[in-house]
Amino acid sequence: MTGRLRKDLPIGLLLATITFVAYYGVLHAGFNNYDDSQYLTENPAIKAGLTAESVEWAFTTGYAGNWHPLTWLSHMLDWQLFGAQAGPHHLISLLFHIANSVLLFVLLRSMTGALWRSAIVAAIFAWHPVHVESVAWVAERKDVLSTFFWLLTLLAYVAYARRGGWLRYCLVVVCFVLGLMSKPMVVTLPLILFLMDFWPLERIKIGTFWKTMSSSGSTSGNWYPAEWKRLVLEKLPLLILAGISSWITLEVQVGGGAVSLTNLTLSDRIQNALVSYVRYLGKLFWPRKLAVFYPYHYGWSFWQVGAAALLIASLLLLAIYKMRRSPFLITGWLWYLIAMVPVIGLIQVGEQSIADRYTYIPSIGLFVAVVWGVLELFSSLPLRNWILGTGTSLLLSACVVCTIIQVSYWKTSETLFSHALEATKDNVVAEYNLGQALSTAGKMDAAVPHYREALRIQPNHARAQNNLGLALYMAGKAEEATHHYSEALKIDPNAEEFHFNYGLALASLGRVDEAIEQHSECARLMPEHAENHFTLASLLVRKQQFEPAVLEYSETIKYKPEHVGAHLGLALVLNQLGRIPIAVEQYEETLRLSPNVVIALNNLAWIYSTHPDQSVRNGGRAVELARHACELTENQQPVLLGTLGAALAEAGQFKQAVEAAKKAQAMAEAAKMPDIAEKNAKLEKLYVSEKPFREEMALLSNSQEAANH
């Protein structure tokens, strides 16, 4: 083991260990209801695992306004290995973050030779609480994955810059492409390579430029020396790849959520971008009130925009002024400014003004500039090592503690968005998602005020109207719920879910005709909604519209073949319409799917016992079904005992049939069910004469009695 490795290895291991401890809480966090559902838990392509179809989907989809096939593949592999267990998904993201922290240390150490400065930058990157979002949010796997390849690209580039060779250059290109396929934010990397050429690689000599300047200020000779041309040409393939990735990203984002210029003017975007640069600085230097979502702020004041622009320009001028003596300042500051460009809001996607996750790569440049700058600033002070050592220890300890606290907020959607509401104001996303989390947990009364607050902030929030209606409906306030469903449909009349929920509420109020209208519209908008077809069929049965009900039950089965209720409902309706052979098939399918459905057992046993067509009757099967139904109800249902008597008679077991009829009669009399008692008295006489019962259409009344008891 070399002397350098003996120094570096313990630092790398310590960095990895403390990072794991700081983020340990993510292993006990669940999936959240903000993007995790869209990206993973409700995404059929991801849940299918790694298949030929899902891999093709990953490379061809612009789903969720993104093209990042490698990220999709990583989620697919996780789902195939771990399924719906959230802990392992979080672990993989954490391992990537640990790897990124160690790679950053290795990169800086290899480029600069500075041991402790490299270690401090890597530690701040690893333990800074603003980076918790990128690690603890499974849907943000693209952050840690793309940064992994970003750092590998830089390491490969360092090797190429020092030793040359096409193989090393090809490795740079491959790592860069993998980064682009993880998250298109990597497009700025070729420009970062130019910065690295200046410092710390020193492939661009600042003196070379100044020597081409004449004393009068004009250029003399060739303004771009040959070495500059070579540096530009070697970046050209990377710039072309970045351009292609940017074009793909713009295409999918326009179709998947990029806010158009009709909503935000270019002036609005530039103003927000300038202020956002400074807001990110604030989060990095004083990470308080961190939230999963920061609402977009419209109309920054002139002094806020002006102050932000002045600060950015001043820091840039300072870095340029110190460029000869402290080249790390210009490299670090421009790294921050350039790497942030894709997410600074010039092309606005989503409703957020800023996002903690967007600092993951840009912050590296800032950390480098600050750490190198502070150490240089204190270089001539007495007790320098003691001051810097104590200050660094306190800073890193504070980062670890703050990260542990920040991680705890990501345990559930409820804790995540409750904290977001504490950290921000007028946050419609946090109000809505907290309401959704509370609703999912069955806390309807607690969810209602958050949906109302979301609507106060954004009155045209259709989903908040719908979810408020659903929460009220579940809380037993169906009448009030219908108002909110109606309002939701005014905003978005083509949302099939709203029609479905509205129909349920109307049906519960006895407004069946209106409910049928809503479910019919839902079926038109989303023909594959199986549960809607089933609900519509049930409502049609209530209106005695049996033929349309048959069609709706059939549609339910078409889209959800294992739907027990649909098979049973179809069997009952077919029986009512006299289509007994087909009804028998549906009863049998019901019992195949769910063997303990009592009404199916009873009705099928009755058909097999009493049908006038000998080819339909089956005494042995009837006895089996009827006995099972009686066992399930502990022989306490007179209707079922009566069916057992009919089955025994069909099987030629008249003595037992008589006993069953007597029991049914006595039990019905005790339960004050005179019709059932009278019917079984007649059946008893028939069985005494050793004659089975035959009935053309006896099943419907019998099944109704079974259903009611």
For residue 219, which phi and psi values (nearest 5 degrees)?
-80, 145
Residue 37: DSSP 8-state: I
Q: Higher pLDDT residue, 622 or 255?
A: 622
- Please state the separation of Cα 157 from the chain's center in Å: 35
Q: What is the pLDDT of residue 707?
A: 43
Tokens of 240: 């072309």
Tell me which of 46-55, 252-261, 343-352, 494-503 is least confident. 252-261
Residue 159, pLDDT above cutoff 90: yes
The residues with which 352 forms a beta bridge, in sequence order, are 295
Tell me what pLDDT residue 580 has.
Answer: 95
pLDDT of residue 216: 36
pLDDT for 256 equals 60
pLDDT(44) > 80? yes
Q: What is the pLDDT of residue 257?
A: 55
Query: Average pLDDT over the chain, rounded to whole?
Result: 93
If residue 559 lies in a helix (H) or strand (E), which one and from where to where? helix 546-559
Is the pLDDT confidence value at 503 over 90?
yes
pLDDT of residue 384: 84
Residue 224 predicted with pLDDT over 80:
no
Instruction: Judge whether 127 and 400 are in contact, CB under 8 Å.
Output: yes
Does residue 500 carry a pLDDT above 50? yes
Interval 552-607: pLDDT, tens: 999 999 999 999 999 999 999 999 999 999 999 999 999 999 999 999 999 999 99
Split at pLDDT 50, 70, 90, the class of 207 is low
Higher per-residue confidence, 184 vs 205? 184
Assess whether pLDDT exceeds 60 at residue 222.
no
At residue 298 the predicted structure's pLDDT band, cuts being 50, 70 and 90, is confident
> Which sequence spans correspond to the domains of the chain?
3-406, 595-709
Using CA atoms, how far apart are residues 390 and 97, in angstroms rounded to an integer? 26
CA 256, chain centre distance (Å): 16
Q: Regarding predicted confidence, which is higher, 309 or 5?
A: 309
| Residue 2: predicted pLDDT | 72
For the segment 446-462, what is each residue's pLDDT rounded down to a tens digit? 999 999 999 999 999 99
The mean pLDDT value for 375-391 works out to: 88
- Identify the band that residue 156 occupies on the pLDDT scale cut at 50, 70 and 90: very high
Query: Quick one: what percent of the chain has pLDDT higher than 70?
Result: 94
- Residues 631, 632, 634: CA angle, nearest 5 degrees: 60
Tell me the average pLDDT across 247-268. 73
- Can you tell me the distance from the alpha carbon of 288 to that of 693, in angstroms, rounded to the nearest whole number? 81
What is the rounded CA–CA span in Å between residue 660 and residue 641?
6
For the chain, give me the number of helices (H) and strands (E)?
35, 0
Please, are residues 96 and 252 in contact by the beta-carbon 8 Å criterion? no
Q: Which residues contact 135 (CB under 8 A, 6 or more apart)?
A: 23, 26, 93, 94, 97, 144
Q: Is the pLDDT of residue 696 over 80?
A: no
Q: pLDDT tens digits, residue range 424-482?
A: 999 999 999 999 999 999 999 999 999 999 999 999 999 999 999 999 999 999 999 99
7, 387 contact by CB (below 8 A)? no
Q: Is the pLDDT of residue 36 over 70?
A: yes
What would the mean pLDDT of 89-112 be, rounded to a whole number? 98
C-beta of residue 322 within 8 angstroms of C-beta of residue 205: no
pLDDT for residue 226? 64
- Residue 116 pLDDT exceeds 70: yes
The DSSP 8-state label assigned to residue 146 in this structure reads H
d(CA 160, CA 110): 13
Q: Which of 3-12, 81-90, 496-505 has the weakest average pLDDT?
A: 3-12
Alpha-carbon span 659 to 650, nearest angstrom: 14
Q: Measured in Å, how far apart are the chain's first and last C-alpha atoms?
A: 82
Give residue-wise pLDDT tens across range 135-147: 999 999 999 999 9
pLDDT at 703: 46
| Secondary structure class of 209 (helix, strand, coil) | helix
The single-letter code of the amino acid at 119 is A
Is 50 exceeded by the pLDDT of residue 699?
no
User: Following CA atoms 255, 259, 261, 265 in sequence, which dihedral angle do they give, to the nearest 10 degrees?
Assistant: -170
**Mind listing the pLDDT tens digit for each residue in 531-546?**
999 999 999 999 999 9
Q: What is the pLDDT of residue 229?
A: 86
Quick one: average pLDDT of 611-623? 94
Mean pLDDT of 347-364: 92
CA distances from 597 to 81, 302, 583, 633 (A): 36, 71, 15, 11
Please name the fold of domain 595-709.
Answer: 1.25.40
CA dist., res. 276 & res. 32, Å (int): 26
Nearest to 572 by CA among 588, 562, 561, 583: 583
Q: How far is C-alpha 308 from the geometric centre of its chain's CA atoms? A: 35
Short-list 621, 620, 577, CA closest to 600? 621
What is the 3-state secondary structure of 310-373? HHHHHHHHHHHHCCCCCHHHHHHHHHHHHHCHHHCCCCCECCECCCHHHHCCHHHHHHHHHHHH
Residue-level pLDDT at 706: 45
Determine the pLDDT at residue 6: 87
The letter for the amino acid at 308 is A
**CB-neighbour burial class of residue 294 (10 A; exposed 0-12, middle 13-18, buried 19+):** buried
Residue 460 φ/ψ, nearest 5 degrees:
-95, 20
